[in-house]
Amino acid sequence: MLEVDQTAPSEASELQSAWQQIRDEARRLAGGPGDMPQRVALMHSIFRDSGGNHAFPEVALHGALWAYGFYERRGVVSRMISYRYFYDRDERARRAYMLFVFSQGFKEANRSVFMDTYANYFFTKRFGEADGADSVVAPALLEALNRVHHAARSGRSLTAGERRDVFETSLLFEQESTVGPKVKEEVSKFDCPVLTRIVLRPIVHFSYFPRKEWLVFHDFSKTEERIEKAMHSYDLAARVGWPHVGECIRYAGVLPDRFFADPLGYADGLRAAAAA
C-alpha cells in the first residue's frame, strides 16, 4: 500500500494548493487522449491500493478498454463503416473521420474521469480528515472515500453493501460532473444517422462478463441508462469475483506481463517517469 503523509494543512489555501498539486500529477499521468493503457494500469493500482474497497476505478477501466476496442481504427464501428460504405471511398473516409473525432472526445472523457478518480482518491487519502476538505471534494464523495481509507488502513474489507454504496457515489459524481456533459457535447456534433444509431445503441460486453451477459443500450446519451448499466456491471463484477475481474485486464492485450506481475510497482514506475 502506498504510504502518504497524514499531516493536514491548517489553512484552506493550503488545502487548495495540495489539491492542485495532486491534480497536476493526475494530468501528467493521464497522458494524451490515446494513452489508455497507462490510465488503465493506474486505475487498477488505485483499486489494489484501496485493499479492493474502492471498486469504481476497477469497473471504469473495463469500460475504457471496451471503448478502446469499439472505436479504434480496427474496432467494431470502423469495420461497420468499411462494410456500409465499401463502394464509396470518399464517403467512407468522411464517416471514418467523424468517428475519429467522436472517439477522441470519448477518450478525452475517459481521461477526465481518470484525473478525477486519481486526484480525489489521493487527496482524500492524505487530507480527507482535514477541516475544510469538503470544500475541495464533494461532501458525499469525501465521506465515501474516507470510509475506503479507514478500512484500508485497518486492513479490513468493506461489507458488500458498503462497497457498492461507495461505487454508486463515485459513479454518480462522475456521471453528473464529467461524463454526462461530455457525451452530450460529442453526440450533438454528429450529423450522420447511421453512425448515430451505432454509437448510441451499443451492445457492450466487458471481458469479465459471463459469456451470455450483454449490456444493450437503447440510448447511450441518457444519463440514467448509463448509470443503470454501470451498476449492473458492478454487480456482475462482484458476482464473478474481483480477482477474476483484475485478471481479465490481460485479455485486452494492451499491458505488458510485468504489469500483471506487480501492478503497484508498475504504477510506481509510471509515476516516476511522469515526475522526471
Dihedral, CA atoms, 245, 29, 124, 235, nearest 10 degrees?
-20
Q: State residue 92's pLDDT score.
A: 56
Query: How many structural domains are present in the chain?
Result: 1
Q: Tell me if 51 is assigned to some domain.
A: yes
How confident is the model at residue 6, as a pLDDT? Answer: 46
**For residue 6, is it within any domain?**
no
Does 4 fall in a domain?
A: no
Structural domain includes residue 178: yes
* Residues 8-61 pLDDT 10s: 445 778 999 999 999 999 999 999 888 999 999 999 999 999 999 999 999 999
Alpha-carbon span 75 to 274, nearest angstrom: 29
- What pLDDT is recorded for position 262? 96
pLDDT digits (tens, 9 = 90+) for 241-273: 999 999 999 999 999 999 999 999 999 999 999
Structural domain boundaries enclosing 108: 14-19+34-275
* Position 142 confidence tier, pLDDT thresholds 50, 70, 90: very high
Per-residue pLDDT, 276: 84
203 and 214 in contact (C-beta within 8 Å)?
A: yes
Task: Tell me if 29 is assigned to some domain.
Answer: no
Q: Is residue 1 part of a domain?
A: no
Asked whether residue 25 is domain-assigned, the answer is no
Pick the more confident residue, 236 or 106.
236
For 118, residues 6+ apart whose C-beta sits below 8 A from its C-beta are: 22, 25, 26, 29, 30, 42, 43, 46
pLDDT > 90? residue 153? yes
* pLDDT value for 236: 98
Q: Residues 98-127: what's their mean pLDDT?
A: 86
Look at residue 178 and tell me whether its pLDDT is greater than 60. Answer: yes
* pLDDT of amino acid 12: 78
Question: Is 5 within a domain?
Answer: no
